[in-house]
Structure 1
Amino acid sequence: MKDLIIDCFAGGGGASVGIEMALGRHIDIAINHDPQAIRMHKTNHPDTLHLTEDIFKVDLQKYVKGRHVALMWASPDCTSHSKAKGGQPREKGLRILPWAVYKHAKAILPDVILMENVEEIQQWGPLDSSGHPIKERKGEDYNRFITAMKSLGYEFDCRELVAADYGAPTTRKRWYAILRRDGKPIIWPVQTHSKNGENGFNSWVPASSVIDWSDFGKSIFDRKKPLAEATQKRIANGIKKYIIDNKNPFIVPEKQAAAFLIQYHGETKEGDSRGQNLDEPLKTIDTSNRYGLVTAFITKFYKTGIGQGCEEPLHTITTSPGHFGLVSAFLVKYYGQGVGQKINSPLGTITTKDRFGLVNVVFEVNGEQYIIHDIFLRMLKAEPELKLAQGFPMDYIIDKDYERKTYPVKEQVARIGNSVVPIMAKALVSANCPYLRIGERMPNMKIDYSGSQLRFA
């Protein structure tokens, strides 16, 4: 009789593909109430039985049919537990989702249950009449849930783990729980990476490893629609923090460019920049694209000039990074929404007041002085950048489904942000269920849309 594996909150398939990576076999049953999530899951896991049903209403006994369940993964929605909700009211219906895990565990008694959630799940407690957690009772419901699971015969342990410590290019931190009732020991995966490679570990995988360096986006200076003021401030603050004031800015090899990431979240204080260097793993990815890649093209600075006098026309600037004419400065407009301009363009309208400032940024890298001659910006791409940063394999399909329908980018990002980091699922399952392994995961084939019938080729 085949041992079954079930993913109770399957989403786009983060945990499912992680289990495949660990065991070399597909998930037997995947459950999610969202048809869009099931579409992506079914595209990548065609041999799985997909149930588009409410997790509380689905009757798993009907589908299990008395067979032995070896492993069940459960990642209940975390949004009404997460600190990202701030002071907003919580949704009671989402906060009780862990009880669906208890319901199904009681009905089908899996040998092993693996759970994932935000670390704030441990503070799960009752809400007041306005939907806010009652501070004096935090953790009350969490402890009730754990006690209920133990009453079914499960041993329990939990830890907060950072995905970057296990080789994922993201510092996403989550609560993980291991429950088992088969008498075997609970085993936590061995850490393989650390921030700077301390204690014999490998160094964290940097965000730069997942960036498509063939695409720098567009210059911030010559856009038809000027960037929003808040974005301009983020870029300016980021350049100061991650390039000018940084002793070791991230330099894109052979591109004469210094790069960093800005985050489209509210800054905590005026003049600050939320973002990061690219030699670090990406911070947590949420359900909307919050990361912008900023690239400052730089040129060595010479006191005698940079190859031409200011009285001459500027050399031609091409669209190919690394082949720019030598531009030493740009102009900032002190009115309206102007983000500035490069000095090889005609001057904007001259008013009766002095409205233009010449910006000539000089900074030092490894003892040599540089100046910035252009600044590019683009958002990170769902495919492949955010997908790879979350730890999905390159072959995972997020842009089209099995019916030739294209997923909107918003849906792609939402599926990624809601997903379990596959590398973490792989690590936990490998440590606790090695006896279920049957081989290596088979990569997804590319989808061929050229013929009249969709096929994997």
Structure 2
Amino acid sequence: MKKLNEIIVDNFAGGGGASTGIELATGRSVDIAINHDPDAIAMHEVNHPETVHYQEDVWEVDPKEICAGRPVALNWLSPSCTHHSIAAAGKPKNKQLRGQAWLAVKWAATVRPRVQILENVKEFITWGPLLKNGQPDPKRKGLTYNTFVNAMQRQGYEVETRMLRACDYGAPTSRERLFMVMRSDGRPIVWPKPSHGDPNSLAVKNGLLKPWRTAAECIDWSIECPSIFTRKKPLVDKTLRRIARGLQKFVIECDEPFIVPDGATTENLTDKSELVVGFLSKYYGEVSPNEARGQRLDEPLHTISTANRFALITSHLVKFRGNNYGTATNEPLPTISAGGIHAGEVRALLIKYYGEGIGQSLNEPLHTIPTKDRFGLVLIKGTPYQIVDIGFRMLEPHELFQAQGFPLSYQFAWDWINKNKISKSSQVARCGNSVPPQFAEALVRANLPELCTGSGNALTFERYSEAYGQLQLSM
């Protein structure tokens, strides 16, 4: 049962993802937020003004002092995941950062929260000693993790872990994380049931689950996606190869490419025979030279990192009509102008970057174009289209924050307290380090229902909107 004057604490609070989710569930701000990073605390302060903030090393904070005798209902912990993750496999691991989870034992021994929830990457369960070179000892994987779990159990906590995906709980990202729930109040640990699922699953088709939210709904289609052919500074070859491989996989060889909503990016199109298809290119290291690292727009956005890794690619198409743009299937390739956006330029890109044995010289007649060849001809529901332009831009921070599941009114671009604009790189870093709020909301509703309110979402969004309006007036 709920105890009088219970409080909620967010350790490693970051920019406020977990705090936002907790507030969505409970209808009130977390009581205490702790983080050493001034940028993270500044973002948290403006979005959670009712919270008491501590810009300090979490280890330097005395739980008894800051709780001041009040019982703790929930202690949320999101310790550093970088030095557990395989994403930076070649870099030496930091023993101190890997050990941040021990903070849960400190809080258990001092103020004994009823519930503690810890979030990290799946490799957390392999936490063990490091070799002299800073790499995990393969012979002692999981040793430290098991010691940590045993320490929590000796403090009287039940401990369970489970992997969860944010898209299953209403966030437009497929981010997957390991969650550990620890309870000391004798009540059972409850894992939230998914609210969303694969649109093709029987559960969704039968109305038992909502379909996953998608990357497409997070794209700001009002932002121009400039042509790759008219840039003042040409894109580097590596980027062009990514674009070409993506076009091949997600447009040319795709039976049902994602069609951009009518009117979203079609300002330059003139009739109903024209359309735009799109996909996202991912700027991660390719596993093989011919691999297309990207995704469709009608699925949840893949995991967001601390650097901007997503680019929107739009492919502009027109219905193929024989000698459209001066090109018939068996006629010589038309002259390519220096500055114009023509089919020939698109073909030049595709021919140049698609690899061996599939191209031809641009000084000879264009080879016959079969429906599924790689010269920019796309078959959509039986109708052939030809690529006439390709757009490219990186995703903006507000698109990434929306994909991470934050409210539209969440403030991340300005440090309103110090009246400073936050750099794009810092905004993206805060986003990549954040917890999708839907994770926290679902876990809190499942394990602490006595603290929750059915109108929490409405209250929170209303307060965000009101706060945003006041800040705008104060500028």
Common fold: TM-score over 0.5: yes
CA deviation after TM superposition for structure 1 residue 355, in Å: 7.6
CA deviation after TM superposition for structure 1 residue 196, in Å: 2.9
Aligned pairs for 1:48-447 within 5 A: 48-200=51-203, 201-254=209-262, 255=266, 256-305=275-324, 327-330=342-345, 360-383=375-398, 385-403=399-417, 404-438=419-453, 439-440=455-456, 441-443=459-461, 444=464, 445=466, 446-447=468-469
CA deviation after TM superposition for structure 1 residue 329, in Å: 3.6
Identity %: 44
2:128 and 2:140 in contact (8 A); partners too: yes
Amino acid at match of 1:389: A
Query: Residue by residue, what CA displacement relative to the aligned partner does 1:334-361 show, whole Å, maximum 9, x if unpaired?
Result: 9xxx99xxxxxxxxxxxxx978997951
Aligned equivalents of 1:4 and 1:448: distance in 2?
27
Cα-Cα RMSD: 2.5
1:12 and 1:41 in contact (8 A); partners too: yes
Aligned equivalents of 1:371 and 1:412: distance in 2?
38
Query: Residue by residue, what CA displacement relative to the aligned partner does 1:409-438 show, whole Å, maximum 9, x if unpaired?
Result: 111100010001101110000111110125
Aligned equivalents of 2:378 and 2:437: distance in 1?
40
CA deviation after TM superposition for structure 1 residue 198, in Å: 1.4
Aligned equivalents of 1:96 and 1:188: distance in 2?
26
Q: Which residue among 3, 13, 37 is the counterpart of 1:34?
A: 37
Q: Which residue of 1 aligns with 2:370?
A: none
Amino acid at match of 2:84: H
Aligned equivalents of 2:246 and 2:79: distance in 1?
36
Stretches of structure 1 that go unaligned for 5 or more consecutive residues are 315-324, 340-352
Amino acid at match of 1:184: R
Q: Which TM-score applies when normalising by structure 1? A: 0.88
Aligned equivalents of 2:92 and 2:409: distance in 1?
39
1:333 and 1:357 in contact (8 A); partners too: no
CA deviation after TM superposition for structure 1 residue 253, in Å: 2.3
Amino acid at match of 1:253: P
Aligned equivalents of 1:240 and 1:283: distance in 2?
20
**SS of 2:245 mapped into structure 1:** helix
CA deviation after TM superposition for structure 1 residue 221, in Å: 0.4
Query: Residue by residue, what CA displacement relative to the aligned partner does 1:356-403 show, whole Å, maximum 9, x if unpaired?
Result: 9979511101110001111000001111x1011101111111111232
1:112 and 1:180 in contact (8 A); partners too: yes
1:2 and 1:67 in contact (8 A); partners too: yes
Q: Which TM-score applies when normalising by structure 2? A: 0.85
Amino acid at match of 1:171: S
Cα distance 1:242–1:181, how it changes in 2: closer, same or farther (>3 A)? same
2:11 and 2:58 in contact (8 A); partners too: yes
**SS of 1:431 mapped into structure 2:** helix
1:330 and 1:360 in contact (8 A); partners too: no
Please identify, of 31-40 and 297-306, the stretch whose mean Cα deviation from structure 2 is larger.
297-306
Amino acid at match of 2:407: P
Aligned equivalents of 1:372 and 1:199: distance in 2?
36
2:346 and 2:389 in contact (8 A); partners too: no
Please identify, of 36-45 and 395-404, the stretch whose mean Cα deviation from structure 2 is larger.
395-404
2:214 and 2:300 in contact (8 A); partners too: yes
CA deviation after TM superposition for structure 1 residue 130, in Å: 0.7
Amino acid at match of 2:402: L
Aligned equivalents of 2:79 and 2:303: distance in 1?
18
Cα distance 1:267–1:40, how it changes in 2: closer, same or farther (>3 A)? same
1:28 and 1:48 in contact (8 A); partners too: yes
Amino acid at match of 1:442: T
Aligned equivalents of 1:106 and 1:400: distance in 2?
38
Query: Residue by residue, what CA displacement relative to the aligned partner does 1:117-145 show, whole Å, maximum 9, x if unpaired?
Result: 00000000000111111111000000100
1:329 and 1:372 in contact (8 A); partners too: no
CA deviation after TM superposition for structure 1 residue 216, in Å: 3.7
CA deviation after TM superposition for structure 1 residue 273, in Å: 1.1
CA deviation after TM superposition for structure 1 residue 58, in Å: 1.1
CA deviation after TM superposition for structure 1 residue 442, in Å: 2.6
1:332 and 1:357 in contact (8 A); partners too: no
Cα distance 1:243–1:450, how it changes in 2: closer, same or farther (>3 A)? closer
**SS of 1:212 mapped into structure 2:** coil
2:347 and 2:376 in contact (8 A); partners too: no
CA deviation after TM superposition for structure 1 residue 191, in Å: 1.1
Aligned equivalents of 1:172 and 1:396: distance in 2?
20
The number of residue pairs the alignment matches comes to 425
Amino acid at match of 2:420: K
Amino acid at match of 2:144: D
Aligned equivalents of 2:450 and 2:229: distance in 1?
58
